[in-house]
Chains A and B, each alone.
Chain A
Amino acid sequence: MTQSHRISGGQVDRTKTVRFTFDGIPYQGHPGDTLASALLANGVRLMGRSFKYHRPRGPISSGSEEPNALVELRTGGRQEPNTRATVVELFEGLDARSQNRWPSLRFDAMGINDRFSTFFAAGFYYKTFMWPKSFWEKIYEPIIRRAAGLGSVTRQEDPDEYDKGFLHCDLLVIGAGPAGLMAALTAGRAGKRVILADEDFRLGGRLNAETHAVGQASGADWAVAAVAELAAMPNVRLMTRTTVMGAFDHGIYGAVERVSDHLPVPAKGKPRQVLWRIYAGKAILAGGATERPIAFENNDRPGVMLAGALRAYANRWGVKAGERVAVFTNNDDGLRTATDLMARGVDVVAVIDSREGGELIPGVRHLRGAEVIDSSGKLGLKTITVRQSNGKTEDIRVDALGVSGGWNPNVNVHSHHRSRPVYDAGIAAFVPGEDGPPGLSVTGAAAGVLSTHGALRTGRDAAMAALGLTGAAPDLPEAEDAPVRVSPLWFVHHGKGRAWIDQQNDVTVKDVKLAHKENFTSVEHLKRYTTLGMATDQGKTGNVLGLAVMAELTGRSIPETGTTIYRPPYTPVAMGTLAGRSRGKEFKPFRLTPSHHWAKEQGAVFVEVGNWLRTQWVPKAGETEWRQSVDREVLATRKSVGICDVTTLGKIDIQGTDAGEFLNRVYANTFSTLAVGKCRYGLMLREDGIVFDDGTTARMGENEYVMTTTTANAVTVFRHLEFCRQVLWPEMDVQLISTTEAWAQFSVAGPNARKLLEKVVDQDISDASFPYMGAANITVCGGLRARLFRISFSGELAYEIAVPTRYGDALLREMLARGAEFDPIVYGTEALGVMRIEKGHVAGGELNGQSTALNMGLGKMVSKKKDSIGMVLSQREGMVQEDGYRLVGVKPVDPKAALTAGSHFLEKGAAAVAANDGGWLTSKVYSPHLGCDIALGYLKGGDKKIGQRMRIVNLLAGLDTEVEIISPHMFDPEGERLRG
């Protein structure tokens, strides 16, 4: 294919050819092209269909502000919708497709919407699809979604990786146009650490799109030299393809670096994008300005573009957007498009200048006081209708029109902390206001200084000021310093047709008028009612236009009308970029127990408990169903001995001369009386009297304790203890450190637990020398330091034994080998759960953050003889009710009946309504000893209902079963076994 619209010049590498396809048709471009510039070079200007009306659309801009030329890139998992063709860097084999059209871009069946545009005016959802209500979800919404929309997302997983990172600098410069380059040069030469970030793949900003000279060189060449100087400085980091997307608090900026978007696929192991968190001492916003259009009827046809974009395509990319071009402007800058294009031999047939008087451009038909009032051309611009100053209208045949309504400074990042831009009538645009992010200054066009000289000067001065540089300021190269001459014109008053403001969301002047008519006159209401500025481009070209139209309608001034709030991100950021590496199996880190490798060898099934992977059960050969494994583990433990890895419980080393008193304060029950070599169950409350956590704490020495917490609360309990130690009782002599991971800890439970342990423990652990609730530092296997605690969660004769983690695996294997005569088994969390429920011990389902000690049947543990966290408020009226919830055991009257956790208690004959609710089941298991399902639950007045029959009802599960309320201590209620 020939590049019919390629002209001379520009910054593309004509020695190389890049092949790509658009809607399956092959084209060629050059390195340095964007998808938009390459398509335009090939004479393709129809690139998409609009959101609501399916109007044919082409690019209006040459940058990230583009509302129209949205395309879908790539296929499979990498398919990416709504990509702006104007910023897609061309690469070999690029596969781009138009979107929101069927069956083809040129003939789109949904184009019918355009004929019925009156039905699709602002607010049409709210008005049209109100009735009947039931139609919304099933009928209206699916139809609307199919008809109105942009690209489609892939259903496949994104195969690429996304990284995150952290950067530090003295000065972050956002934007590498003349202002940004000069700021970076000033700071870089002073030896400061500088980051210069620009969203483009070529630094230089508008210098690349203009023909201005800077010093002795062209602007583009000056930029190349400046970049080369900066690149040679070790203290400067140049970041191309990097969008600073937001200003956050205290000098933190977010930036997205598109590392591999310009490649067919990322190199192996390389991220597609990196989300940087930049810590900047100071920052300079040099983000330039965005040209805005003038709204007139049918101003959305492919070929109608921003004047600056037409110029950029010619100057930077060597592309003419049309064969016969006209310019429609209200300011001097628009005239540059005419002169630049003529200089490149493009046929400029007319300049339509809305202003009266002034100089005329030689060599072109320059109409003063004229306006473009309409256009025609089905799939692209063919003619414009011009109304001359004398009122005469005339059709002019053109295939490209450059429109310039003036330039809007890109104040976005400066306004991310809600700073309101202020209106500068001199340039007819909003400029940065007061109260921007501290440490951020704004320069160049972003500050409303629109000349090249002004950009260079303010860039340099801002860097000097921001960094407090006192030396001689760098000399500035000579550059144009033309004044801004603009005469505001927002929309052309003519006729009844549609004049587009927000092209991406299909918002027209009519819609703004409708919003006004219906009294949605505040800009924030205007935005929500019409969806102005709510598309993926966030209204970069349309917002100011929209509010200016509203200002005119209401008779308020533009400053009075004001802007909407600017929020990050500056341009869209992919969800994958925000997620970084935290997805799939890497969503969060794993924690592995000391017995993990042994368990894996055995084919154990694991369960995620927080970040931990715990053994859930360990299937034996022939077991086909999980219950077989769990029942066997329970029975074998209660019959002989079972071992369970309990390393995951939090362990906190507490030392100091006040450690005992400290425990008295943080536990509801008394600890100061605990003897050395003993452990005790402790109940920890929150200050509001609700149970926070529980566990055993052992006194290992005069001033040394080891506290255990539940697995889930290890971190929060530690935080709470530090709060108590540092903030509540700062003079206490207490030191804390977590030792959760330092020790591999195993529960050894069952009638033969002691006999098994005697095979590995070096000391005498007979009942006499090591009674129930004993705790000691011991040695195992001939001298290895270890800890032994005689505590039981299972209700069996049980111990917990701990060795340094590196020996945990070996200790487990040694216990299994040396104790082989007792047929020891290893049990997982399921069997653990069965045994604790059989014993009525509370855990996750009962420690639910809503329950008191009294609810759990542990009310007597809360000592009132001492101050402790939660003691006072646990005595509140509502928490000590006689008929409040009490923990009970439950078993079905019919042993074959199944129970479900979460089911509710109801009296026999009571209707299943909330008013009759008696409480709920918190945990349920099958007990192989009782031969039926058993459960724990909170039942109102439950302690007085032991022995009664009630119903368990679960309407979702279709369960309605008669049960017997029993003591929660369902197995060995006298506790004879654990003292054995």
Chain B
Amino acid sequence: MIIHHPILGPRDAQEFVYLGDASLMDRPDGMTAGIEEFHEYLYQRGNPAGEHRELWYHEQGDRSWLVVTRNTVTHEITKVELARDVARAKGRSK
């Protein structure tokens, strides 16, 4: 596959490491959330046949974490964003 890196342009997916569902960025605050909430966060994922937002790490590149929107059936990639930008837009901070 080819991932169109927002900064570096088209790069072979071989250069990346896959993590999984982009919802992994929605980590609860450990000082306020309990076991149930963390359990939901860590283990409960959708497994869609179709569009899926997922985290990829450009390990053999610029070390950016990306959010890739990929169709799990056709492998078509419709959007690639820097995960840091997505996280900030969601209000994640320090």
Whether A726 pairs with B94 at a CB distance below 8 angstroms is no
- Residue of B25, B42, B55, B84 touching A687 (CB-CB under 8 A): B42
In angstroms, Cα B31 to Cα A873, docked, is: 12
In angstroms, Cα B17 to Cα A873, docked, is: 25
Query: Is A875 in the interface zone, CB < 8 Å from B?
Result: yes
Closest 5 CB pairs of A and B: A867-B30, A250-B2, A249-B1, A731-B93, A726-B84
Chain A residues whose C-beta falls within 8 Å of the C-beta of B59 in the assembled complex: 715, 719
Query: Interface size bucket, A side?
Result: 20 to 34
Q: How far is the CB of B27 from chain A (nearest CB, A)?
A: 5
Closest A-chain residue to B43, C-beta based?
A: A688
Closest B-chain residue to A658, C-beta based?
A: B94
Beyond A251-B2, A872-B38, A875-B35, whether A727 also contacts B25 by CB under 8 A is yes
In angstroms, Cα B83 to Cα A723, docked, is: 9
Query: Is B79 in the interface zone, CB < 8 Å from A?
Result: no
Binding site for B on A (CB under 8 A): 248-252, 279, 417, 438, 658, 661, 687-688, 715, 719, 722-723, 726-732, 866-868, 871-873, 875-876
Whether A873 pairs with B35 at a CB distance below 8 angstroms is yes
In angstroms, Cα B27 to Cα A688, docked, is: 12
Mind listing 16 A-B residue pairs with CB under 8 Å?
A249-B1, A249-B13, A252-B1, A252-B12, A438-B76, A719-B57, A726-B82, A727-B84, A727-B92, A728-B27, A731-B92, A868-B30, A871-B30, A872-B33, A873-B35, A873-B38
Whether B2 pairs with A728 at a CB distance below 8 angstroms is no
Chain A residues whose C-beta falls within 8 Å of the C-beta of B29 in the assembled complex: 867
Counting chain B CB atoms within 10 Å of each CB, the highest count among A251, A417, A726 belongs to A726
Count of CB-CB pairs between chains A and B under 8 Å: 83
- Residue of B34, B77, B88 touching A730 (CB-CB under 8 A): B88
Beyond A250-B1, A868-B30, whether A732 also contacts B94 by CB under 8 A is yes
Query: Interface size bucket, B side?
Result: 35 or more
Whether B83 pairs with A727 at a CB distance below 8 angstroms is yes
Whether B65 pairs with A723 at a CB distance below 8 angstroms is yes
Q: How far is the CB of A807 from chain B (nearest CB, A)?
A: 28
Q: How far is the CB of B4 from chain A (nearest CB, A)?
A: 9
In angstroms, Cα B18 to Cα A719, docked, is: 11
Q: How far is the CB of A416 from chain B (nearest CB, A)?
A: 12
- Residue of A249, A687, A722, A723 touching B2 (CB-CB under 8 A): A249
Beyond A249-B2, A722-B63, whether A727 also contacts B75 by CB under 8 A is no
- Residue of A250, A688, A730 touching B84 (CB-CB under 8 A): A730
Q: How far is the CB of B55 from chain A (nearest CB, A)?
A: 7
Closest B-chain residue to A732, C-beta based?
A: B94
Whether A719 pairs with B17 at a CB distance below 8 angstroms is yes
Closest A-chain residue to B14, C-beta based?
A: A277
In angstroms, Cα B27 to Cα A871, docked, is: 13
B28-83 contacts to A, CB under 8 A, are 28-31, 33-35, 38-39, 42, 55, 57, 59, 63-65, 74-77, 82-83
In angstroms, Cα B94 to Cα A661, docked, is: 9
- Residue of B1, B75, B92 touching A729 (CB-CB under 8 A): B92
Chain B residues whose C-beta falls within 8 Å of the C-beta of A251 in the assembled complex: 2
Closest A-chain residue to B1, C-beta based?
A: A249
Beyond A723-B65, A873-B35, whether A730 also contacts B75 by CB under 8 A is no
Additional A-B contacts beyond A252-B12, A866-B31, A873-B38 (12; CB < 8 A) = A248-B1, A249-B2, A249-B75, A250-B1, A252-B1, A726-B84, A727-B92, A730-B87, A730-B92, A730-B93, A868-B30, A875-B35
Chain B residues whose C-beta falls within 8 Å of the C-beta of A731 in the assembled complex: 88, 92-94
Counting chain A CB atoms within 10 Å of each CB, the highest count among B27, B28, B34, B94 belongs to B94
Q: How far is the CB of B66 from chain A (nearest CB, A)?
A: 10
Chain B residues whose C-beta falls within 8 Å of the C-beta of A715 in the assembled complex: 59
Beyond A249-B75, A688-B42, A730-B87, whether A723 also contacts B93 by CB under 8 A is no
Q: How far is the CB of B14 from chain A (nearest CB, A)?
A: 9
Chain B residues whose C-beta falls within 8 Å of the C-beta of A872 in the assembled complex: 28, 30, 33-35, 38
In angstroms, Cα B1 to Cα A252, docked, is: 7
Beyond A722-B65, A723-B19, whether A729 also contacts B93 by CB under 8 A is yes
Closest A-chain residue to B17, C-beta based?
A: A719
